[in-house]
Amino acid sequence: MISRRNFLAASVAGFGMCGSHAASSEPLLAASEVHVSGYPTVEAIRWLGEQLSIASDGRLGVRLYDSGQLGRESDAADLARFGALDLVRLSLGALNNAFPATRVLSLPYMFESVLHMRRVVDSAIGAEILAAFAARDLIGLAFYDSGERCVYNRKHPVVLPADLVGLKIRVPPSDIFIETARAFGANPTPLSYGETFSALQTHLIDGAENNWPSFHGSRHFEVARYWSETRHSCSPDVLLFSRRRYLQLSPADRELLHDLAQKSVLVAREKWDVREASARSASLAAGVEIGQVDEAAFRHAVAPLLAHYRQDALTDRLARAIQAQA
C-alpha cells in the first residue's frame, strides 16, 4: 500500500520533470477517497474507472486510493489543483470557504428532502455551482449523495436544541457546519472524519453529526448510542478533476469523462439507497436508539444563520432558485 508521504514525494518529483505527476501518456488517473471500499461514493468512482478503461480500450483508467490513504479531505482539493491528484471526491463543507457558490448547498434546512436535493443538483443550479470550481483550477464533474445528516451522541436523547447545550459535537472543518452546531446550542468541535471514532472513544467529543453509512461504516455506533433525526442537512459531495490533467486530455476524452461522471451519479445513488437502509438496520440491531426531534425548534434555532448567509447576493439568488424546486 502506498503511503501518503511516498505519494506526495513522487508527485513533487513529477512536477520537476513534466509539471504534473501524470504525463499525458499515463493512462491511470490517481483518485483519492477517505471512505472505505464498499462505500457508495468509492464504488461509483471504481465504476467510473472501469467504464473509462472499457470505453477508451485501456487508454484511460483510475487508480483509486481509498480509506484515506492519501490523507485528509481538506488537503485533497489543493493536491488536485496542483496536479498531484487527478480525481477527488470531497464533502462540500471542506470547500465552502474557498468556493462561495457551494455555501448554499451546505446551509441547514435548505432542502426539504433528498429527492429535492437531487432535483436541484441535476438542474441548471447544480451546473452553475460545478462551473464555479474552474476559478481555482478544478473541473466540477458531478454531485454525489451524502444523505441526510443527523446528530448523534453518547450521553442522552436529543429532542430540543436545549438538549445539545454543553455537548461537544464533532463537525467538519467548515464555518457553516461550525455555526450550525453552535446555533443548535452545542459546542462545535471541528475534526477530520478519520479522527472522529477515536475522539468519541476517548471522550474528547460527546457526539457528531453525519449520515447513516458514515455512522455505521466508521463504527461510531459502538460508542454513540443516541441518534436524533434532526435531518438538518442534505449537503451533497462533489467529484472534482484536476484542470492540469484535464488540459492534457483530448476533447473526445474530456467529453467521455464528463459523460461517464454523470452516469456514475446514478450508480452512486442506487448504491447509496441500499447502503443507507442497511446501515440504519444494522445500527438499530446493535442497540442504537433513534429519537424524533422537534424539527420546528431546530429550524427556528438556525433561522438567524440562514438570514446572515442570505445577505450575500449569490447565496440568496441560489437559495430562491432551490426553494422554487421544493
Query: Mind listing the pLDDT tens digit for each residue in 123-149?
Result: 999 999 999 999 999 999 999 999 999
Specify the pLDDT at position 13.
Answer: 39
What angle do the packed helices 124-131 and 114-121 form, to 10 degrees?
60
In the predicted structure, residue 283 carries a pLDDT above the cut 90: yes
Specify the pLDDT at position 74.
Answer: 76
Read off the pLDDT band of 281 (50, 70, 90): very high
Strand order in the sheet with 87-91: 61-65, 28-32, 87-91, 237-242, 138-144
In the predicted structure, residue 4 carries a pLDDT above the cut 90: no
Q: How far is Cα 208 from Cα 191, in angstroms, rounded to an integer?
A: 10
Specify the pLDDT at position 26.
Answer: 61
Unique residue bearing C-alpha cell 474528547: 204
Q: Which amino acid is at 79?
A: L
What residues contact residue 51 under an 8 Å CB cut-off, 6+ apart? Answer: 260, 263, 264
Domains in the chain with CATH codes: 4-146+236-277 (3.40.190.170), 149-234+289-324 (3.40.190.170)
